[in-house]
Amino acid sequence: MKKGKLGYLFIAPATLHLLVFAIFPMAFSVFLSFYKWNLLTSERTFLGLANYAYAFGDPQFWNAMWNSTKYALLSVPLGMAAGLLVAILVNQKLKGVTIFRTLYYIPAISSGVAISILWIYVYLPETGLINSVLGLLHINNKTDFLKNESMAMYALVFMSIWVGLGPRMVLFLSGLIGIPPSLYEAAELDGAGKLRSFWNVTLPMLAPTTFFVMVTSTIGALQVFTPVYIMTQGGPNETTDMVGYHIYVEAWSKFLIGIASAKSFVLLAAIVAISIFQFRILKNQLEGYSTT
Amino acid sequence: MRSVVVFAVGLAVLLCGCKGATGTGPVVLHLSNWGGASDDPEFSRKITALYRQFERENPGIKVEIESVPDEYVQKMILSFVADAAPDVMSLDASSAGVFVNNGVLMDLAPFAKGDHGFRVSDFWPNVMAIDSRDQAIYAIPGDFTPLVLYYNKKLFDNAHVPYPGGHWTFDDFLQTAKKLTLKDKDGKVTQYGFNFPNWMPGWIVWLWNSGGDVLNPDGKSAGGALDSDKNVQAVTFLRDLVNVHKVAPNLSQTQSRGVDPFGNGETAMEISGHWEMSGFKTAPRLKMSDVGVTEVPTMLPQSKTVMYEVGFAIPKNARHPAEAWKLIKYLTGHGFQQTYQTTGIAVCARRDVATERAKAPREQLFLNIVPTARGPWGAQVVGYDFVEQEGKKMMERVLAGADPKQALTQTAQRIDSYFKVR
């Protein structure tokens, strides 16, 4: 066997997996998005772009898109700030710091369903962790976070910060470790304090990491499904009906497979557009970047 | 290079999960259901023995159980798309409409007629009707349960309240629930009269018993039915049980307990199905002898209830319909059902087994209710799952303070705009 061909063998499983579970289903969804078909009947009607037109005119779809936008706008910056903060904390030369690094990462390797169920208990009005702690501080509102229209979204955002902490921390940590100490020494010689060197050395040097974390977090936030499915089912009063869950309901409760497919491509287009936008604004910062 | 091919083919077979080609070997019947692992190994052993017995009685047929504990309907739909549907499919009445109305199930009436060992008359007629359309039968019922009102006799005795029995109105019920809601000296509720989970398959009986319904009789629209004055009355009544009279805990309180409050002896009444019995048996704070069963309160001359049923169906393009029918006949037969129903999870759809099991007076009460019970809308309508989700949201809004009439109208409009594009 030639060397070149052996390489294909190594990538075969991953490629096959990609083809079977990603590329083919996506192509099939394109096909579905042009039809009215509930999958079970033999007849299917070609609708052209009517499913897309329906999606654009559906106020509930836009409500879900707006909720997802709100969720992303809140959870991404807050999640990144928390991730960076924790990364800086665990980047200190402290005893047992690896234990903390591990602890912060645990939520990321736990099942999303299990975490969501856990957080239902955290948010309960009478016996929940948060209300119990607030009770100790003599705040006895007993807020029912997940059933309160003005609180449910924030409850999901707050949880997402906790869940996403580990992966973001690891990424920022690797970025922090990559910053040459000589830069800090130079800054110190120039009389820069801690805050100054964070602002003028750490942040600019972390730009590529920040960019990566931002893009992936945004995509993740726009696709959020499990917590909505388990904790709120889009409620109360559709204030947490986010687009991933909305599409799921269209497909599997209402059996509007074509409309659900069309909506998922609208979401795809939105995600691509946002990612391109993020690339544009950070382009300048990334160009001058070099650690060598 | 050969290794590459072998590897790729092997992987492809693994990924496709292809069913092997049918050869001369035994016919393997795949029977799908939504059961997970049973927590009663003794029962599982008995049931497995019954399947083996079927295989002995029918040489050349093997039975394999396909358990799909989650997202059953979705997975079944996909199995039809992939032409990998099971040979015998357990069909839940709540979602039977999806499969029956889309024409993916075989009409079993010709099998039933041509088989001397099978009698349609062995089954409760209105249970058999759930998955039937005119003369066509799309599933043979295994078991079912009407929803009933459970009450805790001990809590009634403690409060010196007579047991409910027979016909009673919403107001009778409210007065009873008030007497059974107890507070300590700080005004904290220690016991609720009723448990109200926001579960539409359960609370639909309140709409029916006020004279209302979810959909119009043809099942094609909700406007004019769901937002009727009778439903407004029923929904207002339910809201007031929780918000005004406070005879039932609010939804989060119920959820936060994590246990069935009735089974835990904390509420005096609840509306549910026969499946609760298997939980009551092991509930530490509820004696089986304290469990009372009666009909749902009503504003009508006679109480109505809903019944949820499980039947067995054969997909239309089944590979082994004759063998599959044999299995269905066995599964719904006297011998299998006699053992199967010992869990107490449901009422047998066969009248003989149901009657044998109704020696206990409490069981007889279930049977008395059967003639007044009706199958769920989900057996008739595609996408009723969505209707129930909207109903749940509607109730949530009402409990949070929305006007019942407005909430019902808005929900009816949403359901109708869905039915239009469906």
pLDDT confidence band for B258 (50 / 70 / 90): low
Contacts made by residues A88-93, CB under 8 angstroms, sequence distance 24+? A88/A172, A88/A176, A88/A202, A90/A169, A90/A173, A91/A173, A91/A176, A91/A177
For residue range A163-206, list pLDDT tens digits in order: 999 999 999 999 999 999 999 999 999 988 888 999 989 998 99
Name the nearest CA neighbour of A162 among A99, A218, A106, A223.
Answer: A106
What was the pLDDT predicted at A11?
A: 93
Answer yes or no: is pLDDT of A147 > 80.
Answer: yes
Nearest CA-CA distance, residue B118 and chain A, Å: 30
Answer yes or no: is pLDDT of B19 > 60.
Answer: no
Q: Which residues of B touch A147 (CB under 8 A)?
A: 251-252, 396, 400
CB-CB under 8 Å, B104 with A125: no
What was the pLDDT predicted at B38?
A: 67
Cα four-point dihedral sign B314, B316, B320, B325: positive
Name the nearest CA neighbour of B309 among B153, B120, B151, B91.
Answer: B91
Which of B252, B266, B381 best probes binding to A when mutated, by most A CB atoms within 10 angstroms? B252
pLDDT confidence band for B46 (50 / 70 / 90): confident
Average pLDDT over residues A12-30: 95
For residue range A22-79, list pLDDT tens digits in order: 999 999 999 999 999 888 887 889 999 999 999 999 999 999 999 999 999 999 999 9
Residues 6+ apart with CB under 8 A from B330: B54, B57, B336
> Rounded to an integer, what distance in angstroms lies between the CA atom of residue A106 and that of residue B310?
42
What was the pLDDT predicted at A289?
A: 59
> Rounded to an integer, what distance in angstroms lies between the CA atom of residue B222 and that of residue B216?
6
Peptide bond into A236 cis (omega under 30): yes
Each domain of chain A, given as residue ranges in start order, spans 52-287
What share of chain B has pLDDT > 70, as a percent?
92
What was the pLDDT predicted at B27?
A: 94
CB-CB under 8 Å, B252 with A126: yes
What share of chain B has pLDDT > 90, as a percent?
74
What was the pLDDT predicted at B37?
A: 64
Query: Under DSSP, is residue B224 helix (H, G, I), strand (E, B) or coil?
Result: coil
What was the pLDDT predicted at B369?
A: 92
* Superfamily of A52-287 according to CATH: MetI-like (1.10.3720.10)
What was the pLDDT predicted at B9?
A: 47
What was the pLDDT predicted at A126?
A: 78
Average pLDDT over residues B311-335: 95
Name the nearest CA neighbour of B150 among B307, B341, B365.
Answer: B365
Average pLDDT over residues B138-147: 96
B422 in reach of chain A (CB within 8 A)? yes
Which of B91, B403, B421 best probes binding to A when mutated, by most A CB atoms within 10 angstroms? B421
Length of chain B: 422
Cα B328 to its chain centre, rounded Å, is 20
Answer yes or no: is pLDDT of B300 > 80.
Answer: yes
> Rounded to an integer, what distance in angstroms lies between the CA atom of residue B396 and that of residue B399?
5
A207 in reach of chain B (CB within 8 A)? no
Query: Under DSSP, is residue B26 helix (H, G, I), strand (E, B) or coil?
Result: coil
Contact (CB, 8 A) for B149 and B270? yes
Q: Of A39-43, A121-125, B35-39, B90-94, give the lowest mean pLDDT range.
A: B35-39
Nearest residue of chain A to residue B75 (CA atoms) = A252
Contact (CB, 8 A) for A187 and A200? yes
How does strand B373-374 pair with strand B305-313?
parallel
- Phi, psi (degrees; rounded to nearest 5) at B401: 120, -5
What was the pLDDT predicted at B17?
A: 47
As a three-state string, the secondary structure of chain A is CCHHHHHHHHHHHHHHHHHHHHHHHHHHHHHHCCEECCCCCCCCEECCCHHHHHHHCCHHHHHHHHHHHHHHHHHHHHHHHHHHHHHHHCCCCCCCHHHHHHHHHHHHHCCHHHHHHHHHHHCCCCCCHHHHHHHHCCCCCCCCHHHCCCCHHHHHHHHHHHHHHHHHHHHHHHHHHCCCHHHHHHHHHCCCCHHHHHHHHHHHHCHHHHHHHHHHHHHHHHCCCHHHHHHHCCCCCCCCCCHHHHHHHHHHCCCCHHHHHHHHHHHHHHHHHHHHHHHHHHHHHHHCCCCC
Residue owning tokens 């039977």: B96
Structural domains of chain B, with CATH: 25-144+308-377 (3.40.190.10), 148-307+379-421 (3.40.190.10)
Contact (CB, 8 A) for B321 and B106? yes
Contacts made by residues B120-123, CB under 8 angstroms, sequence distance 24+? B122/B350, B122/B351, B122/B352, B123/B332, B123/B349, B123/B350, B123/B351
pLDDT confidence band for B361 (50 / 70 / 90): confident
- Look over chain B and give the mean of its residue pLDDT values, rounded to a whole number: 90
Q: Which is more confidently placed, A124 or A83? A: A83
Cα B352 to its chain centre, rounded Å, is 21
What was the pLDDT predicted at A280?
A: 87
Which of A2, A113, A121, A254 best probes binding to B when mutated, by most B CB atoms within 10 angstroms? A254
Average pLDDT over residues B10-15: 48
What was the pLDDT predicted at B261?
A: 87
Average pLDDT over residues A207-220: 92
What was the pLDDT predicted at B279?
A: 85
Answer yes or no: is pLDDT of B18 > 50.
Answer: no
Nearest residue of chain B to residue A122 (CA atoms) = B256
What was the pLDDT predicted at A193?
A: 87
Q: Which is more confidently placed, B152 or B254? A: B152
What was the pLDDT predicted at B13?
A: 47
B18 in reach of chain A (CB within 8 A)? no
> Rounded to an integer, what distance in angstroms lies between the CA atom of residue B261 and that of residue B251?
12
Q: Which two tokens stand for residue A127?
A: 């016996």
Amino acid identity at B34: W
Q: Which two tokens stand for residue A27?
A: 């192509």
Nearest CA-CA distance, residue B1 and chain A, Å: 6
Answer yes or no: is pLDDT of A142 > 70.
Answer: yes
Nearest CA-CA distance, residue A68 and chain B, Å: 20
For residue range B214-226, list pLDDT tens digits in order: 999 999 999 999 9
Q: Which two tokens stand for residue A98?
A: 């690896």
What was the pLDDT predicted at A291?
A: 47
B159 in reach of chain A (CB within 8 A)? no
What was the pLDDT predicted at A282?
A: 76
What was the pLDDT predicted at B7?
A: 47
Amino acid identity at A231: M
Nearest residue of chain A to residue B7 (CA atoms) = A9
CB-CB under 8 Å, A144 with B382: no
Nearest CA-CA distance, residue B15 and chain A, Å: 8
> Rounded to an integer, what distance in angstroms lies between the CA atom of residue B404 and that of residue B240?
11
For residue range B272-288, list pLDDT tens digits in order: 999 998 888 888 889 99
CB-CB under 8 Å, B397 with A237: yes
Q: Using CB atoms and an 8 Å cut-off, which of residues 59-88 of chain B contact chain A?
A: 71, 73-74, 77-78, 80-81
Name the nearest CA neighbour of A64 among A218, A227, A220, A228.
Answer: A228
Length of chain A: 292
